[in-house]
Structure 1
Amino acid sequence: MPISDYYKGLREKIGSELLLIPSVAAIIRNSNDEILFQHPRDSQYWSLPAGAIEPGETAAQAIVREVWEETGLFVNPTKILSVLGGEEFRFIYPNGDHVEYTILVFNCEIVSGGLESMDGESVELRFFSEENKPKLALPYPDFMFQKLFFKDTYFQPLNYDE
């Protein structure tokens, strides 16, 4: 669903003014360690499967819903990889709406389903190697796409005694 009733109601009140939106994005790898990207309708850039958190929804519920709507895949979010936001994550939609996203990026494992845009938002879904990822609409940091970033051994607890 391109815009929910909740955000549509806000837009009716504030027009195209800047709206801060809590959001989620998914990094989903296939068995070849390629990452899934979606090409949204009316955009020249690619994106991770992503979207806004709706009122009453947890971030984990939002990522499962958004991934299913945009890709036809059911996923299990296994880890928060990063929390991103600020001026770099401002975006102006073709209709003139201004947004600034605060994004919780999840590592997600595919549980079931097949690649198909359920809500019509994605016109193309494709897995890319991390070296050949497409041009993205938002400036996600490169480290999130590196395979090493997904290994549990990469995350070491901080030792405050040293």
Structure 2
Amino acid sequence: MGVSDYIAGLRKQIGHDLLMLPSASAVVVNGAGELLLQRRSDDGRWSIPSGVIDPGEQPAEAAVREVFEETGVRVTVERLAGVALHPTGYPNGDRCEYLNVWFLCRPEPGQEGAARVADDESLEVGWYAPGALPPLNDYERLRIETTLDGGETAWFARSGADVPMR
């Protein structure tokens, strides 16, 4: 889907300067314990499905929407897994800091086989066993590990903590 009209409008006003944005992500785990990942078209890296929360949209809604838009898989949110602020820089020079909220999600019945490239934000999508993941950066690993290792309490970045860049 690319950049929303909302963000494009903000960028017209501020150029490449720092923009703080709310975002949501989903660590999607199927019945076999595999993780749903996408290879992003903007930087070619593997990632969990994620994106900016639209104005008026709840974070859990955004996570569900992003998973479907990027992978074609319909999911249900099980619990909040974590929250952190992290910086990101883009090849075009745009700078952002995302307040990212991530959730543990499960595919709806019959959706495990639905994984496919569903929009122009993904180059590839697929299910991966935790021990056989494609190359991931430290921020992706942080969100996956805190979700899989977590209990009922969400992980959060402590005051002064360095969170890896995307």
Instruction: Name the residue aligned to 2:164.
Output: none
Contact map agreement 2:104 2:147 (CA 8 A) in 1: no
Distance in 2 (alpha carbons) for counterparts of 1:117 and 1:138: 24
| Partner of residue 5, structure 2 | 5
Q: Aligned letter for 1:143?
A: E
> Quick check: 2:64–2:75 contact (8 Å CA) kept in 1?
yes
Secondary structure, counterpart of 2:32 in structure 1? coil
Q: 1:108 aligns with which of 105, 108, 112?
A: 105
1:144: Cα distance to partner?
Answer: 2.2
Could you say which residue in structure 2 is the equivalent of 1:159? none
- Which residue identity is paired with 2:54? E
**Residues 42 and 60 of structure 1: CA distance in aligned 2, closer, same or farther (over 3 Å):** closer
C-alpha distance in 1 between matches for 2:129 and 2:56: 35
Q: How far apart, in 1, do the equivalents of 2:152 and 2:59 lie?
A: 21
Give the drift of 1:18.
Answer: 0.9
User: Could you say if the C-alpha distance between residues 7 and 137 of structure 1 is closer, same or farther in structure 2, counting changes exceeding 3 Å?
Assistant: farther
Unaligned runs of 5+ in 2: 154-166
Larger radius of gyration: 1
- Name the SS of the counterpart of 2:139 in structure 1: coil
Kindly state the Cα deviation for residue 91 of structure 1 after the two structures are TM-superposed: 1.2
Say whether residues 1:15 and 2:12 are aligned partners.
no
Aligned equivalents of 1:137 and 1:20: distance in 2? 21
Give SS of 1:30's match: coil
Greater mean deviation of Cα atoms: 110-119 or 91-100: 110-119
4+ residue segments displaced more than 6 Å? none
Q: Are the structure 2 counterparts of residues 134 and 73 from structure 1 closer, same or farther at C-alpha, using a change threshold of 3 Å?
A: same
Do the aligned partners of 1:79 and 1:107 also contact (CA within 8 Å) in 2? Answer: yes
Alignment gaps of 5+ in structure 1: 157-162
**What residue identity is the alignment partner of 1:57?**
E
* Equivalent AA in structure 2 for residue 100 of structure 1: E
In the alignment, structure 1 residue 120 sits paired with structure 2 residue 120:
yes
CA distance 1:119–1:93, change in 2 (3 Å)? same
**For residues 96 and 137 of structure 1, do their structure 2 counterparts lie closer, same or farther at Cα, with a shift above 3 Å needed?**
farther
3-state SS in 1 of match to 2:70: helix
